[in-house]
């Protein structure tokens, strides 16, 4: 059946797909959209047409010996409800409601929707809002949220709407905190990884080895035989290294004290030039008068290319000089005169 709003074929009821109350809600809205009232015969005719062949046969059996068209629409709906909706055990339905708690991965919104669905068959009447509030507070999975709700209820009246809003706010805050914690954890993991890579590149201060960090070293609980401290071996002992370094420093200072550096000598030469003082001339070997044979032997040897003082042979002077009768000055005077 075609109408201004919707198609009548969509109103075929299937008990395997939806409950009868949900179907009845859709049927009533269809009537409202098309300007029909439940009291109208036209509304009854529409219902008997769109309810489906199987359900029409069921209504004929339920109305027998009368015919479905002889009943009004409300009577037909009551017959179908009695057939499809069994009589409920209120105590059992309330037990389901009062034992319903929030599941592990269930949101606050989903939990509240589930409670409302269970409460529909509990016949709470005017106590419905209080029943939903109490079960919501008792059934939330977070003990922290439950404590907050109970503290608020201790100071002032806690309504269902207020409890629900507090639950939503807590859920959002918790979600944001978890995301931030995950980001921080990832950043710390990357930083730790970089530190480990850096440590693997440096020698381990416990064993002087490579390829691992101090925290992974197998000698971290070993006692050093040099300094008797725990946490490293003798090969990597800092005390031994410091001792060798002190000895080397003392020996270097000792050598520096014995032989001043070249720079200090150079500075000494500069100071002499600035003050006008010159270094004393090196002592020249004394020129002695030798015998003729010694002179000939000396002249046969190769002499360096420099100015030399000619030595004249005077046999009498040599013996006098060797005897100590002639001084160096007299010897040079005789040489200059002769």
Chain segment 11-59, per-residue pLDDT in tens: 888 888 888 888 888 888 888 888 888 888 888 898 888 888 898 999 9
User: So what's the pLDDT on residue 289?
Assistant: 47
Q: Is the pTM of this model over 0.95?
A: no
Q: pLDDT tens, 80-98?
A: 988 888 778 899 999 999 9
User: So what's the pLDDT on residue 8?
Assistant: 57
**Cβ distance 196 to 213 under 8 Å?**
yes
Any alpha helices (H) in the chain, and if so which ranges? Answer: 20-33, 41-50, 53-63, 73-84, 90-98, 108-119, 128-139, 143-155, 160-201, 238-258, 262-275, 292-300, 315-323, 328-337
Q: In the predicted model, what is the mean pLDDT of the chain?
A: 76
How far apart CA 136 and CA 134 sit, in angstroms, is 5
pLDDT band at 263 (very low <50, low <70, confident <90, very high): low
User: So what's the pLDDT on residue 7?
Assistant: 58
User: So what's the pLDDT on residue 313?
Assistant: 43
Res. 127: pLDDT tops 70: yes
User: So what's the pLDDT on residue 335?
Assistant: 62
């Amino acid at each position: 059946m075609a109408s201004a709003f919707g198609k009548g074929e969509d109103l075929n009821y299937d008990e395997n797909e939806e409950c009868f109350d949900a179907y009845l809600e859709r049927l009533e809205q269809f009537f409202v959209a098309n300007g029909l009232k439940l009291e109208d015969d036209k509304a009854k005719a529409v219902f008997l047409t769109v309810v489906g062949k199987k359900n029409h046969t069921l209504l004929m059996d339920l109305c027998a010996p009368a015919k479905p068209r002889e009943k009004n629409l409300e009577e037909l709906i009551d017959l179908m409800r009695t057939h499809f909706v069994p009589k409920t055990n209120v105590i059992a339905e309330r037990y389901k409601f009062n034992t319903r708690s929030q599941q592990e991965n269930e949101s606050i919104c989903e939990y509240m929707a589930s409670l409302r669905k269970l409460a529909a068959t509990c016949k709470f009447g005017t106590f419905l809002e209080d029943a939903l509030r109490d079960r919501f507070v008792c059934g939330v999975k977070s003990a922290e949220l439950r404590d907050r709700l109970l503290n608020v209820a201790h100071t002032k009246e806690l309504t269902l709407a207020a409890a629900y809003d507090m639950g939503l706010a807590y859920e959002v805050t918790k979600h944001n905190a978890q995301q931030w914690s995950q980001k921080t954890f990832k950043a710390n993991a990357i930083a730790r990884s970089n530190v480990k890579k850096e440590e693997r590149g440096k020698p381990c201060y416990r064993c002087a080895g490579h390829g691992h960090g101090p925290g992974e070293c197998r000698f971290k609980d070993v006692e050093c035989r040099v300094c008797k401290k725990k946490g490293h071996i003798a090969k990597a002992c800092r005390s031994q290294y410091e001792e060798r370094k002190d000895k080397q420093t003392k020996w270097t200072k000792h050598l520096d004290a014995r032989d001043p550096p070249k720079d200090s000598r150079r500075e000494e030469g500069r100071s002499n030039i600035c003050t006008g003082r010159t270094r004393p001339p090196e002592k020249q070997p004394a020129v002695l008068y030798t015998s003729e044979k010694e002179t000939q032997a000396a002249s046969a040897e190769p002499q360096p290319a420099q100015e030399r003082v000619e030595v004249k042979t005077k046999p009498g002077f040599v013996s006098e000089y060797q005897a100590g009768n002639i001084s160096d000055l007299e010897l040079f005077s005789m040489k200059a005169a002769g």
